[in-house]
A and B are shown apart, each in its own frame.
Chain A
Amino acid sequence: MLRVIKVILCSKKNCNPMHNYDRVLILLTMKEKKYAYDGGLMPILSYLVLPQAGAMEQLCTDLSAIECCEVIPSDNEEVIVLVTDTPDDNTEKTLQKKLKNLPSLQSISMTFGHSAE
């Protein structure tokens, strides 16, 4: 059974995740929702991840080193697609913490979320 996670977007404090209000406007629905992850089992999530200035390469390295992460870097923009596939809630929570604490990461925006029960 598939169950959809309510999380839509999270970003570090004081940073505009997309740097571009005009284009982001169409995604405002996502941005303004509460960022509550409701803890399903075996979640698969995808994100757009933006590095700190000049830290694209470092962020790719950091993300690739984390278990359960697949990294698809853009080759012409400072943007990374991150797909995470965790086996359970605890691993997911640990992963979320790791992501939030990465110094090379400026912002992370969720684009997709499923959890299989």
Chain B
Amino acid sequence: MKINRRSFIKSAAASSALAAAGSIFPGISFAEWKKQEGASGKINWQKAPCRFCGTGCGVLVGMSGDRAVAVKGDPNCSVNKGLCCVKGFHSVQALYGKDRLKKAQVRKNGKMVEVPISEALDVIAAKIQETIKKHGKDSVSMYGSGQWTIPDGYVASKLFKGCLGTNNVEANARLCMASAVTGFMTSFGIDEPMGCYEDIEAADVMITWGNNMAEMHPVLFSRMLASRKRKQNVTIVDFATRTTRTSQAADKSILFKPNTDLAVANAICYEIIRNDWVNWDFVTKHTTFHKGKTNIGYGTEDHFSFKDKPEDITFEEYKTFLEDYTPEKVQRISGVSAKDIKYMASLYGDPEKKVTSFWCMGMNQHVRGTWIQNLVYNIHLLTGKISTPGNSPFSLTGQPSACGTVREVGTLTNRLPHGVVMNEKDRKMAAEIWDVPLSNIDPKPTYHTVEMFRALDRGDIRFMWIQVTNPMVTMPKLKRYREGCLKDDRFIVVSDVYPTPTTDVADVILPASMWVEQEGLFGNSERRTQHFDAIVPGPGDTMSDTWQIIEVARRLGFEKQFPWGEDEYIGKIWEEYRRFHDSPKHNMAPYTVLKERSGVQWPFVNGKETRWRFNTKHDPACKKGTEFDFYGKKDGKAWIWARPYEPAAESPDQEYDFWLCTGRVIEHWHTGSMTRRVPILHNAMPESYVELNPEDAADLGVTNGEKVKIISRRGDIVMKASINGRGVPPRGSVFVPFFDENYLINEVTLDAFCPISKQPDYKKCAVRLEKA
């Protein structure tokens, strides 16, 4: 249907208002709109998951002809029930930025030159072959993303691990949820949350651990506030290192000193035991006690390695361990009053209250990320508040398919779509499904993300293909890794939708399809797999990341492993991938079911989704005859860990006297490469800033909007001060959002990581400030 430009804009304007109304007044109807001339024919709504965060909101994309003009929340999606946040509402505009990458580019004589995409794919395949021949199979690598679709990650893993024989496959989810994985694995022996978003409505108490949900998971936070309003007796506690919108909306805000959440979690457990709030029946039947190594380091040196050594302990030994964590002792470490610690313990300990804990990057990007997950699980395990509606330790993810693509497909160096490369049974399964010789799959993991970029800098890796992520903004201690990419004899391929600081270091740029320009699947925070169709035609020579990999694989001679046609490959890949999870513990829904619904939760068994895992009433994988079965562990029992408080890798001292914490803002998705192309979002938050405590600002002689220089041992940056803005850090701390490529805050941050998960800590390093 033809419409002129002006009526098209008016239609988009009306759709935007209708979508906003739908989010604010659920169920609102505008029958008159349909009567308007051409309106019902102009907008055709099609389902998709939102492109941005890990919440996995269902959206309806409004199509006018072959152009996406509007978005509204999908009322049929149980995640958001018709709600959307500002990013979601404006998401389709991110498809149409004027500098969209539409043509492939190859560096020739030092300059990027546009070429047909087939030529660029030829160059990539030839370079992979040449590099392997010269430097060995482990000199080539793939760095992907939690924004990869599930098929993207699957074919990347199949090509690199199955065909090329290198475990050099990592994804940016290492930077965002690796500690969540190791937390689950060490406490439960199996990954991903046991609960679901319905816990929000069932809970009496919700505690956010270092998690500004009002900005990072705004739709879920709206559900929390709506539940509080409806039920009246709901309590929300924000436990954080700075005051945010979440704190403002919470019933109680409690601030702690960075890294001391470890001590506070132990103190809560101490109080639960001291007051005999332990659910003894649950603890006796379903848990065991353990300790691991201590003083485990921070990974700041190349080739750092660590292997934990778990030991069994008794409950009495655990109780003795907790004596170092009385509320009074922990008050001195954490800055949290003993009274507040006891208050939090009393909420968890009250047998009449259902308690859900939420966390995301605050606990994941943590030099003891695995430990703090263990410790929060301890609280829920001691009280038996787990795997039942409203009782959930809930690890949220930040990216739309960090769970679906990275955790479930296993696009990390040590993982396979089922299990790990170190396990022969898992390798056999992969070799059989992938139709490759077993010997192809190397039993040794190679490099986790930070070490992969170090290897690139050192020259152990010479070729890196980066898809759907922007590491030249996001890597900590960025300067070293950017310089590594730019060294002679390094070859960088970048597949993306817009120019970024990462495409700046590329030797080949592939123009990628974005979101609903391709068919794909995401997997969200609550084990929900979400299918979307190709709704919008992509511009120019854009090609899905999956198909780019297939094209290169075929050029490398792996036609047999990548045989699918362009009109069927997503469905075929899904059905092949599904074979890896063919068990009641992880069965995935068939392609045909996913196409129809706004997301399906796994385990999907006998046509039914599983809401609460490990609970026999809800989870068909549990053994009969017991109320709970933590089947990830051989004995069906979850582990309670004695993990101590240890300080951050770098704390403020006389020279560098402030903590630096980095994070996101509601308007922008990650590095802003998409949302900064959305004019409304960009204008709402045009540049990054540094949040200062008002008293620190006064000491520095800085007023709102004046420039401040932030200096660390790695680098420095000058940016505007925000004082009493939307967030307020305590004295001695500053916060900087990382979305703005004009202010590369990661040149200042430290590449220390959790030795178990290898996830870097973006929340803590030492800086000093100067008025600029």
Interface residues, chain A, with chain B CB atoms under 8 Å away: 2, 4, 6, 8, 18, 20-30, 32-33, 44-48, 70, 72-77, 79, 81-83, 85, 109, 111-114, 116
Decide: B684 and A46 in contact? CB cutoff 8 A: no
The reply on B535 being an interface residue by CB < 8 A is no
The reply on B1 being an interface residue by CB < 8 A is no
When chains A and B are docked, how far (Å) is the Cα of A4 from the Cα of B96? 14
Which residues 53-100 in B have Cβ within 8 Å of A in the complex?
A: 83-86
Closest to A42 in B: B6
Contact indicator per residue, chain B 1-41, by CB within 8 Å of chain A (1) or not (0):
00001100110111011111101110111111100100000
B221 neighbours in A (Cβ, 8 Å): 25-26
For this complex, 27 residue pairs linking A to B, each with C-beta atoms less than 8 Å apart, are A4-B683, A22-B228, A22-B229, A23-B222, A25-B225, A25-B245, A26-B23, A26-B666, A27-B24, A29-B666, A33-B683, A44-B10, A45-B13, A46-B16, A72-B14, A72-B18, A73-B30, A74-B25, A75-B29, A75-B31, A77-B25, A79-B21, A81-B30, A83-B10, A83-B14, A111-B19, A116-B9
- Sample of 9 further A-B pairs with CB below 8 A, known A4-B680, A85-B6, A111-B16: A18-B24, A23-B226, A26-B218, A27-B86, A30-B86, A44-B9, A81-B18, A83-B13, A116-B5
When chains A and B are docked, how far (Å) is the Cα of A2 from the Cα of B685? 19
Question: Contacts A48-B17, A72-B36; is A6 near B683 (CB within 8 Å)?
Answer: yes
When chains A and B are docked, how far (Å) is the Cα of A82 from the Cα of B21? 11
When chains A and B are docked, how far (Å) is the Cα of A32 from the Cα of B6? 29
When chains A and B are docked, how far (Å) is the Cα of A45 from the Cα of B10? 8
Contact indicator per residue, chain B 369-404, by CB within 8 Å of chain A (1) or not (0):
000000000000000000000000000000000000
The reply on B347 being an interface residue by CB < 8 A is no
When chains A and B are docked, how far (Å) is the Cα of A2 from the Cα of B8? 13
Closest to A26 in B: B218
When chains A and B are docked, how far (Å) is the Cα of A13 from the Cα of B33? 30
Decide: B679 and A4 in contact? CB cutoff 8 A: yes
The reply on B214 being an interface residue by CB < 8 A is yes
The reply on B517 being an interface residue by CB < 8 A is no
Q: Which of A29, A33, A113 has most chain B Cβ within 10 Å?
A: A29
Among candidates A8, A24, A25, residue contacting B684 with C-beta atoms closer than 8 Å: A8
When chains A and B are docked, how far (Å) is the Cα of A21 from the Cα of B249? 10
The reply on B667 being an interface residue by CB < 8 A is yes
Which residues 659-686 in B have Cβ within 8 Å of A in the complex?
A: 666-667, 679-680, 683-685
Decide: B17 and A25 in contact? CB cutoff 8 A: no
Question: Contacts A25-B221, A27-B86; is A111 near B20 (CB within 8 Å)?
Answer: yes
Decide: B20 and A27 in contact? CB cutoff 8 A: yes
Decide: A76 and B684 in contact? CB cutoff 8 A: no
Question: Contacts A44-B9, A74-B29, A75-B29; is A25 near B218 (CB within 8 Å)?
Answer: yes
Question: Contacts A8-B680, A28-B245, A85-B6; is A74 near B17 (CB within 8 Å)?
Answer: no
B485 neighbours in A (Cβ, 8 Å): none
Decide: B29 and A26 in contact? CB cutoff 8 A: no
A21 neighbours in B (Cβ, 8 Å): 225
When chains A and B are docked, how far (Å) is the Cα of A26 from the Cα of B229? 16
Question: Contacts A8-B680, A8-B684, A72-B30; is A23 near B13 (CB within 8 Å)?
Answer: no
When chains A and B are docked, how far (Å) is the Cα of A29 from the Cα of B219? 14
When chains A and B are docked, how far (Å) is the Cα of A90 from the Cα of B81? 41
Decide: A72 and B33 in contact? CB cutoff 8 A: yes
Among candidates A25, A33, A82, A83, residue contacting B222 with C-beta atoms closer than 8 Å: A25
The reply on B726 being an interface residue by CB < 8 A is yes
Decide: A114 and B9 in contact? CB cutoff 8 A: yes
Decide: A26 and B14 in contact? CB cutoff 8 A: no
